[in-house]
Amino acid sequence: MTSVLSSLLDDVLRRNAGEPEFHQAAREVFGSLEPVIAAHPRYAEASVLERLTEPERQLIFRVPWTDDTGRVRVNRGFRVEFNSALGPYKGGLRFHPSVTLGTVKFLGFEQIFKNALTGLPIGGGKGGSDFDPKGKSDAEVMRFCQSFMTELYRHLGEHTDVPAGDIGVGGREIGYLFGQYKRITNRYESGVLTGKGVGWGGSLVRTEATGYGAVFFAQRMLATRGRDFDGARVLVSGSGNVAIYAIEKVHQLGGTVVACSDSSGVVYDADGIDLDLLRQIKEVERGRLSTYAERRPGADYRAGADIWALSAETRIDVAIPCATQNELDGRAASTLAAGGVAAVVEGANMPCTPEAVAVLTAAGVLFAPGKAANAGGVATSALEMQQNASRDAWTFDYAEQRLAEIMNSIHDSCAETAEEYGAPGDYVLGANVAGFVRVADAMLALGVI
């Protein structure tokens, strides 16, 4: 990294103290930008990086709500509207006890580049709360969502900021949030939230999009080495929305997902994960993975285990981390590389630590960063916005075709950019530079704002 970039990064870290996830995301991006800054000094002259790393707006607010016993609870809400050079802020809401301002800033910063890579007119933002929907009744979740939206609504709009779901925010939560927005504004503004139910403005394939998209990207990436998913054995961490639909698409393409996980442990099923059973337990019963092994003969549940360690005892061709940030560390990456894994594809946001990425790339493993590989969710959110704007509804097949086209385009853009800047096969550099250039050029065109 040049002294200029290093000095800029030091300033970013100093100005955002105590936010390790944001620091990690900034380091990764800055580490890729040396060749593009050298080739295009106009970006440095216009202080694009200084502006890009400073959110346009950061919102922190109190969210009071009443639980089923009548007790008043208080949580903290966040929305970081990071960059709108390409379009309205776009990014999910995360409800989880781990959510802090630093978490939301890291996610929002990543979202800028991810959204730019889609080629669609959307800026980057992210939000959420330290509220935990687990163990709460539907009525408690509804009251929380209504309180959350009562503050946030004034900052939203289909031409301003369009949230979606993320961890802890699914169809139920989006419904309550949209209902409160409609109630307060007296407008049926369908495009203000995405991830809505299909019957009231949502898009087919939106639920499946992030998981499907990661697998589409992986398929395109594997093809560069003459491989595909046919006969492949795959690990998918997590068992939420992204993981479930990544598993589904891998199976459709001829692969076998032999393990998945949740916060309590790992289930290994050598014959392939029974997707119907997994859905029943996770989406209907909201239960734990240990129940899967109780109902599935031959499945092995391992409490507290590391899913990536399975590559030391059975052949694994592809790993798709879909749980949370920094879940796959250097040691796990070494295990995967030693076991002969061909590709690691980030289905979650930044699930691989910097050490893991270094190990994988040094071993020649194909590595797809989340800002590229998991862009399918936001891409389909933008397609949902298009349908809302035209009062239209697309078929499943057409929406999936559009998703596949976008993911293939993202892959090719990353690959071509890496080649252009002298780092063939480096999808991290390709994604960072391709996303940065699109946003930076728009920022220059709009002037100093």
211, 248 Cβ separation under 8 angstroms: yes
Reported residue count of the chain is: 449
Please name which of 154, 158, 101 lies closest in space to residue 127, comparing C-alpha atoms. Answer: 101
Tokens of 179: 């209902």
65-75 burial code (b ≥16 CB/10 A, e <16): beeeeeeeeeb
366: Cβ contacts below 8 Å, ≥ 6 apart: 221, 222, 224, 225, 342, 343, 344, 425, 427
8 A C-beta contact, residue 353 and residue 113? no
| Residue listed under structure tokens 């990294």 | 1
Q: Could you list the active site residues?
A: 126
Helix or strand or coil: residue 449? coil
CB atoms within 10 A of CB 188: 11
Cα distance between residue 372 and residue 368, in whole Å: 7
CB of 418 within 8 A of CB of 424?
yes
DSSP string, 342-383: -EEE--SSS-B-HHHHHHHHHTT-EEE-HHHHTTHHHHHHHH
Widest pairwise Cα distance in the chain: 64
